[in-house]
Structure 1
Amino acid sequence: MFTPAQYANKDLDEIKDFLAKNSFGILVNQVDGKPWATHIPLELDLDSDRNDILVGHIAKANPQGHHFIENTQVLCIFNGPHSYVSSSWYKEEEVPTWNYIAVHVYGTLRIQTEEALLASLHKLVDKYEQGSKQPISLANMSAKTMRQIKGIIGFEIKITAIQATYKLSQGREQDHPKIISELEERENSGSKAIAKCMRKD
């Protein structure tokens, strides 16, 4: 990912927090010599050696899984908020632009055992059921329902590199108050979220 120096975020704690809160990502590998992408939850976790990993699963029917080779490199893409920024909000004439947050994670893939897959599914469901009025647990599901695990492939990705772009009108600090106020007046959630991120910086 091309990231001009002023937009690069090197704060690993902030990036990890972003990944935990924006875990619905895009897994990319090669299928028959072409890029292939699947939109799935990719959860940040730690392996037994306390190394950062991403954990996920896909359907066995997905051709992507047929090309899962141990230790092959994959790319995971995570998108945060984004918004159009009008140059009418600037003090001086300039072209409009787009503010956004995006993180690319590179790593090597390893297929999970069925035991590890089941443990990761329990963690996944427990995490997202916390906000439910009547949370469910995989522990309470029947053996018949849980047989569906046979139709998926679980995997772990050992993280080897992270690129994080936080494009938040850096270099135009004199225009930030106006940009933020205009973004906050917009109806879409992305604009409001970008304004909130700009207020932090």
Structure 2
Amino acid sequence: MYIPTYFKVTDMNEIRDFIQKNSFGTLVTTKQGTPIASHLPLQLNKQGDNYYITGHMAYGNPQWKTFEVENEHVLVIFQGPHAYVSSTWYKDENVPTWNYQSVHVYGTASIMSEQELEEELSLLLQKYEHHRENAALWENLSPQTKKQIKGIVGFKIKVQEIQAANKLSQNRNEEDYQNIITKLYEEKDLNSQQMAQLMKRELKTDK
């Protein structure tokens, strides 16, 4: 991913937090040179000195078979808010652009054992169910429901490289930056509203 210096993120804590909040990612692999993608709930975990992306997909999804190619690299994309920025929002004439947050994770994938998959599902359910009444946690599921694990394939991706970008108009002067926030708040769509909130929060963090 091309990332100008203004927008590059290298703080691993910030990257981990971003993935945690935007964990429905896109997994991209190739089969005989053709890209294949699936959209999946994923998790970033640390084991010793290594980071892993973990997740699962339906057994009927043929993408998991591409993991069996030795040393095949995979790409996982996590996307945050994004919004169009009009050049009319700048004090001086310039060109329009698009603000966004994105993280690309590169690594090699392997298939989980059934025990590893159970642990993965337990953590995933804990993340999304712990605050709910009568939570559907792994330990609360019936043996019959747990048998459905046979219908999915768990995988883990050993992380080899992470590229992260926060393109939030950091290259604009303070007047333009503030005006972009104001104009984004006036837009009707949710992404623009979220981008305005993010830019406002980042401005406070920088100070």
Give the TM-score, by structure 2 length. Answer: 0.91
The DSSP-based 3-state class of the residue aligned with 1:170 is coil
| Structure 2 CA distance for aligned equivalents of residues 46 and 123 of structure 1 | 13
Aligned to 2:101, the other structure's residue is in SS state strand
| Secondary structure of the corresponding residue to residue 139 of structure 1 | helix
Preserved CA contact (<8 Å) 2:105 2:163: yes
Distance 1:151 1:72 in 2: 24
1:114 has 2:121 as partner? no
- Taking the aligned partners of 1:122 and 1:58, their CA distance within structure 2 comes to 15
Structure 1 residue aligned with 2:180: 179
1:40-189 mapped onto 2 (5 Å cutoff): 40-47=40-47, 49-69=48-68, 71-174=71-174, 175-189=176-190
Q: Secondary structure at the match of 2:191?
A: helix
SS at 1:68 equivalent:
helix
Aligned-partner residue type, residue 184 of structure 1? Y
Is the Cα–Cα contact under 8 Å of residues 130 and 137 in structure 2 kept in the other structure? Answer: no
Distance 2:14 2:164 in 1: 10
CA shift digits 1:45-96 (9 cap, x unpaired):
122x242111101111111012212543110001000011111111011121
SS of residue in 2 equivalent to 1:3 = coil
Deviations 1:106-143 (CA, angstroms, capped at 9, x unpaired):
11112111001001101101110134344222212222
CA distance in 1, matches of 2:123, 2:173: 42
Residue pair 1:109, 1:156 contacting (<8 A) in 2 also: yes
Q: Give TM-score, length-normalised by structure 1.
A: 0.93
Hey, what's the Cα distance between the residues in 2 that align with 1:173 and 1:15? 26
> 2:43 and 2:99 mapped to 1: Cα distance?
25
Asked if structure 2 preserves the Cα contact closer than 8 Å seen for 1:31 and 1:63, the reply is no
Gaps of 5+ in 2: none
- Describe the superposition over 1:10-67 as per-residue Cα deviations: whole angstroms up to 9, x where unpaired: 12111110011110000111123211000001101122x2421111011111110122
Letter in 1 for 2:57: I
Measure, in 2, the Cα distance between the counterparts of 1:140 and 1:131: 14
**For structure 1, which runs of at least 5 residues remain unmatched after alignment?**
none
Q: Distance in 2 between matches of 1:173 and 1:8?
A: 18
Amino acid at match of 1:26: T
Residues 71, 110 of structure 1: 8 Å contact kept: no
What are the within-5 Å matches in structure 2 for residues 17-28 of structure 1? 17-28=17-28
Q: Corresponding residue for 1:30?
A: 30
State the SS of the aligned residue for 1:146. helix
Contact 1:81 1:190 in 2 (8 A): yes
Percent sequence identity over aligned pairs:
47
8 Å CA contact 1:25–1:78 kept in 2: the answer is: yes
